[in-house]
Amino acid sequence: MAGKHTLGIDIGGSGIKGAPVDLKKGEFATERQRIPTPEESTPHAVAEVVAEIVDHFTDEIGSSSPVGITVPAVVHHGVVRTAANIDPSWIGADADAMFTERIGRQVHVVNDADAAGVAEVHYGAGRGNDGVVLLTTLGTGIGTALFMNGELLPNTELGHLEIDGHDAETQAASSAREREDLSWEDWADRLQRYYSHVEDLFWPDLIIVGGGISKKADKYLPLLHTRAPIVPAQLRNDAGIIGAAWQAKHLG
């Protein structure tokens, strides 16, 4: 039996969060559930937590609806290919197949920044923009999602561009600002270098800035000078779950 809503689950370094999503409205249909990420966050350990979240929401999603899941990694045809901020045992894991077997329903696994971008393009700051839209998440690293006419080009990983001899995210991520105790102005200088470089490569029509630091967008976005409008994300921490659910429903 299919339920009214589609479940999205966001796997993070400290917590695994899930909620049924009303895809007509682009919002949670009920309060989300959060379970701490296992200390040994291997694929099978995480799969047990995912199964617990799925069981918790069975009444809302029914017994056969698909589930969308985000991971902080490159996901190529359901297989995890990188592990920058998750257990290295994920590399090479067929996450789609593993989760599908464990929970007994179709699963679509997607990169976390791509999921956030999907949510923003369909329901948030990028809604209605048919050009080139770039979402960046500024956190531990820099996640990116790139869209053309609303279609996702997956796994762009533009936070790893080499700029001035450095992996860009090591200098311009929010974690770099905290680690080096940078002022907003000094951090904005680094962001300016990053966004100018990306604009020269891709010429986006809109840049969306997400991640937890987007809550303080007024501290640094006015200091940036980009050709394209640069705006804060609207869905913030809900975006990954919402985007994962959208992907599962439309692409699963």
63-89 tens-digit pLDDT: 889 999 999 999 999 999 998 778 999
Distance CA 146, CA 155 (A): 9
pLDDT at 252 over 70: no
Pairing of strands 132-138, 206-210: parallel
Q: How confident is the model at residue 7 (pLDDT cuts 50, 70, 90)?
A: very high
CATH architecture of 125-233: 2-Layer Sandwich (3.30)
Q: Which residue has 């959208």 as its token pair? A: 246
Q: Which pLDDT band holds residue 3 (cuts at 50, 70, 90)?
A: low
Question: Confidence band (pLDDT; 50, 70, 90) for 232?
Answer: very high
User: For 154-206, how does the pLDDT look when each residue is reduced to its tens digit (9 = 90+)?
Assistant: 999 999 999 999 999 999 999 999 999 999 999 999 999 999 999 999 999 99
pTM for the predicted model, two decimal places: 0.94
- Average pLDDT value for residue range 216-232: 98
Domains 6-110 and 125-233 share a fold: yes
Tokens of 164: 């001035």
Calculate mean pLDDT across residues 41-50.
Answer: 95
How many other CB atoms sit within 10 Å of the CB of residue 57?
22
Answer yes or no: are the C-beta atoms of 147 and 126 closer than 8 Å.
yes
| Residue 68: predicted pLDDT | 98
Residue bearing the bigger pLDDT, 208 or 64:
208
2 pLDDT above the threshold of 60: no
Average pLDDT, the chain: 95
Q: What pLDDT, on a 0 to 100 scale, did the predictor assign at position 63?
A: 84
What are the extents of the domains in the chain? 6-110, 125-233
Answer yes or no: are the C-beta atoms of 152 and 145 closer than 8 Å.
Answer: yes
Type of residue numbered 38 = P
User: pLDDT tens, 138-164?
Assistant: 999 999 999 999 999 999 999 999 999
What pLDDT was estimated at residue 64? Answer: 85
Q: Domain 6-110 - what CATH class?
A: alpha beta
